[in-house]
Chain A
Amino acid sequence: MSGYYRWLGLPVEASGYAHSIDDGLLLIHAAMLAIFVLWGIFFAYLLIRYRRKDGVPAKRDSGHGGWGSLVPDFIVMAFEIGLIVLYAIPVWSRIKVDEPMGKVNTIDIVAQQFAWNVHYPGPDGKFGKTDPKLVSFTNPVGLDLKDPAAKDDIVLANEIHLPVGVPTLFNLSSLDVIHDFSIAPFRLKQDIVPGMMIPVWVTPTRIGTYELFCAQLCGFGHSLMHGRVIVESEKDYQAWLKSMAPAQAASQPANSANSF
């Protein structure tokens, strides 16, 4: 099943769980439309049938009996219980509660007004130590260059490279205010709260370039806080990693002034 996300005007599906969110959206909107149309017909019928006519008095009893009017309620309730138990809790748990299994690609994201700093562990697979006291315009994530693990770390601004088909774990943190890490084609969205490290994961399934944007008001430059997500084949991704390796972490600063 694919392609029907276009019926709702949704962007392309590019992650492993995008279709389960779209399934829900489609199902709920179909139900909403059905409820509204049926209900609208009934409403229109009532307005026409019971419009004021001379000599026809109103009937005090609607013939439905007081508590009988709760029937729609029971239908709605049953539908909602079904949605909660069969859809919402399982899907939510899979996306937000469970951790991905197997080989995982880990990336640290450090948000600031109004840029995204993307921190890769580099070839050694280990993140260098970071310290907020070391943060500066040339060292946006506060990387401690004395740490040997930091030597090969890669820090990019507003650009994320991801290998297709590999689960990626993002550790989200913020230097200043609340931001929101949002990639619409992945159906991925998560607030980033300063003082917290919030993990989110996604498995990109479609090669292409997508947009990363901030979805939580973060100041006057909020709407300009966006970047690129480049999903590429494993081979291209490895080639890109190699090309980045010699580069010093500090030579790729995120400069918020660049955003304008």
Chain B
Amino acid sequence: METNHHNQSWMKKYVFSTDHKTIGLQYMFTALSMLLIGFIFVMIMRWQIAFPYAPIPVLGRWLPARLAPNGVMTGAFYNSLGAMHGTIMVFFGIVPLAVGAFGNYIVPLQIGAPDMAFPRLNMLSYWLYLTASILLLSSFFLPGGAAQSGWTSYPPLADFNPGQTAWIVAMLFVITSSLLGAINFLTTIINMRAPGMTLWRMPVFVWSEFVASVLLLLAFPPMEAGGVLQLMDRVLHTSFFLPKEVMIFGVLYKGSGGGQPLLWQHLFWFLAHPEVYILVLPPIGIVAEIIANNTRRPLHGYKIIVSSMLFIGALSFVVWAHHMFLSGMSPILANFFLVTTMIISVPSVALLTCLIYSLHGGSIRFNTPMLYALAFLPMFGIGGLTGLPLGLTPTDIYLHDTYYVIGHFHYIVVTGSIMAMFGGLYYWFPKFFGRKMNDTLGQIHFWGSLICMNGIFFPMFITGMAGESRRLWVPTAQLHDLPVQHWNVVSSVSAWALFLFQLPFIYNFFHSLFHGEKTVENPWHATTLEWTCPSPPPHGNFTKPVRVYRGPYEYSLPGAHRDWIAQDIESEAAA
């Protein structure tokens, strides 16, 4: 019944909407665009890494001379692209996609709620995020160019480098957006569950969003404070992060001094380590949903999975300084963070083990979403294992700030999170639009992406082991990098090939949006509540009152005449 919104104007329905589904899709389109932009930036950087000082083909002619004279990018432009790539991918791409898009669309549906707790606040979150995105991208056109101090923005460099002010302001916007979003998610999950939806009946995905929201709520404010302090340093010339007598290119900086550069690193990593789990937990939730659905059996160790997530969330607040073993922080303090870092690997192993055991005894369907979910497991495994030599203090002395680190966290967030979210996209696309995406194109996209991603990131372990530092504009300037330079070429070619394999996805996405095969409300024969309402769900989501009678993954119940029983079905006989 379209009683409630048939008279809404187009603007109100699609642009200034307070419906969580519309806002979720707005987040999705914006975040996917930002991911593409961040990817384009890194494809340009990879040219310089593979072929230092060679003019960039095609694009080089269009870039202004201050960025790339004669088509050869400058060190400052390289650093800008690097800082923007990191910032966009982490704060403007993956988190908005994982939390803003999937969380917004799926969480209210999975708990049987008609909308988010604060629909107008939800709209405000999105618009703050969009403003921040536009501001961040437009900083390239400001006089100083975009920020060039890395996504970590360590002062004093960040206190003096051009472009940083716009970066901080954009970050403050996106932080505010995330905080409001986190409050909204937590209130929704705590307060708006349908009758019968007890905590232990919540799907793993809802739990993952819950933990991610707690992390956002408590970890972002310290970074926000840090951002305010850095803004003060830049605009009002305070010295929060500057010691006395800093000399920049032979000029003594006339600040009051008395600040501490390391303070920023503590504030930044206090956010940025929990941030890693915000990037990873919702995708793990997605993988859990897809695996339960396509093995046709309940998840193995549902309670272990949920407890591990809660444990990881709590511990993630006390591991931040493992990014700072060599920062000049007390080496004795490092031992504490070494121990907490090793402890946090334990629940991570538990998560992965449970997901693998979930395959045991199943009846595995290899459809496109499932391929992504399955690929997530070994890829996330590589990412996790390579974290081990980085978390151990002595081996980190050698590997710190090398390409090994880059390889490690890209295995986590690209072959891990992004793969999982692609899976989520194929999985929930029928719910979003009432149509299915093409399976053949999906498989091409999957195999192409998987191979290319490994082609990009595996060589980084080799170059890192040879001692190559990250963030090098001219890697070949350093002698020990010369013997492994060909691996940089392999990485770069794989990155460009990865782009080509995204084209079938983009085509598939837009083609299926209008011409895809129409589906029913529950095409995957899934059990969670989002599949009990129409595809796409109407305003208000559910056409009849929802009541929950059972756990989230009641597959293959003996005695039932079909192999799934949705959460809102009272008795097996009725199924």
Q: Which of B186-194, B291-299, B429-437 lies at the interface with chain A?
A: B291-299
List CB contacts (< 8 Å) of B544-566 with chain A: 555-558, 563
Q: Which of A51-59, A152-160, A236-244 lies at the interface with chain B?
A: A51-59
Interface size on A, residues (CB 8 A): 93
Closest to B404 in A: A25
Q: Which residues on B are within 8 Å of A, measured CB to CB?
A: 74-76, 78-79, 148-150, 154, 156-157, 160-161, 242-250, 252, 257, 260-262, 295-298, 300-301, 303-304, 326-328, 331-332, 334-335, 338-339, 342, 345-346, 349-350, 353-354, 356-366, 374, 377-378, 381-382, 385-386, 388-389, 392-395, 397-402, 462, 465-467, 469, 471-475, 477-480, 484, 555-558, 563
Chain B positions within 8 Å of A88 at CB level: 338, 392-394
A174-195 to B contact mask, C-beta < 8 Å, 1/0: 0111101010100111111111
A220 partner, pick from B150, B250, B332, B473, beta carbons under 8 A: B473
Chain B positions within 8 Å of A83 at CB level: 342, 392
In angstroms, how far is the closest chain A Cβ from the Cβ of B235?
A: 19
Chain A positions within 8 Å of B359 at CB level: 43, 46-47, 50
Please determine whether B397 and A198 come into contact, CB atoms closer than 8 angstroms.
no
In angstroms, how far is the closest chain B Cβ from the Cβ of A120?
A: 22
Please determine whether B250 and A72 come into contact, CB atoms closer than 8 angstroms.
no
Chain A positions within 8 Å of B248 at CB level: 113, 176-177
Chain A positions within 8 Å of B462 at CB level: 9
| Cα–Cα, bound, A43→B378 (Å) | 9
| Cα–Cα, bound, A222→B82 (Å) | 13
A217 partner, pick from B327, B334, B356, B471, beta carbons under 8 A: B471
| Cα–Cα, bound, A61→B301 (Å) | 10
Chain B positions within 8 Å of A64 at CB level: 300, 357, 360
A29 contacts the other chain (CB 8 A): yes
Chain A positions within 8 Å of B161 at CB level: 219
Chain B positions within 8 Å of A222 at CB level: 75, 79, 471-473
Please determine whether B346 and A215 come into contact, CB atoms closer than 8 angstroms.
no
Please determine whether B328 and A196 come into contact, CB atoms closer than 8 angstroms.
yes
Given contacts A52-B365, A95-B394, A176-B246, 7 further A-B contacts (CB under 8 A): A46-B356, A58-B297, A58-B362, A62-B357, A84-B338, A176-B156, A215-B401
Please determine whether B469 and A182 come into contact, CB atoms closer than 8 angstroms.
yes
Closest to A90 in B: B394
Please determine whether A217 and B79 come into contact, CB atoms closer than 8 angstroms.
yes
Chain B positions within 8 Å of A189 at CB level: 326, 397-398, 400-401
A207 contacts the other chain (CB 8 A): no
Chain A positions within 8 Å of B471 at CB level: 217, 222-223
A4 contacts the other chain (CB 8 A): no
Please determine whether B301 and A66 come into contact, CB atoms closer than 8 angstroms.
yes
Q: A66-B303, A95-B397, A175-B246 are in contact. Are A60 and B156 (CB under 8 A)?
A: no
Please determine whether B394 and A69 come into contact, CB atoms closer than 8 angstroms.
no
Q: A32-B385, A217-B150, A220-B79 are in contact. Are A184 and B331 (CB under 8 A)?
A: no
A178 partner, pick from B74, B261, B382, beta carbons under 8 A: B261
B157 partner, pick from A62, A178, A184, A192, beta carbons under 8 A: A178
Please determine whether B477 and A226 come into contact, CB atoms closer than 8 angstroms.
yes
Q: A66-B304, A220-B76 are in contact. Are A193 and B395 (CB under 8 A)?
A: no
Chain B positions within 8 Å of A63 at CB level: 360-361
Q: A43-B356, A77-B346, A195-B261 are in contact. Are A61 and B395 (CB under 8 A)?
A: no
| Cα–Cα, bound, A90→B467 (Å) | 24
In angstroms, how far is the closest chain B Cβ from the Cβ of A7?
A: 10
Please determine whether A25 and B467 come into contact, CB atoms closer than 8 angstroms.
no
Chain B positions within 8 Å of A25 at CB level: 389, 395, 398-399, 465
Task: List the 10 shortest-distance A-B pairs measured between CB atoms, nearest first.
Answer: A195-B243, A220-B75, A184-B467, A59-B361, A96-B331, A223-B472, A92-B393, A91-B394, A58-B297, A62-B360
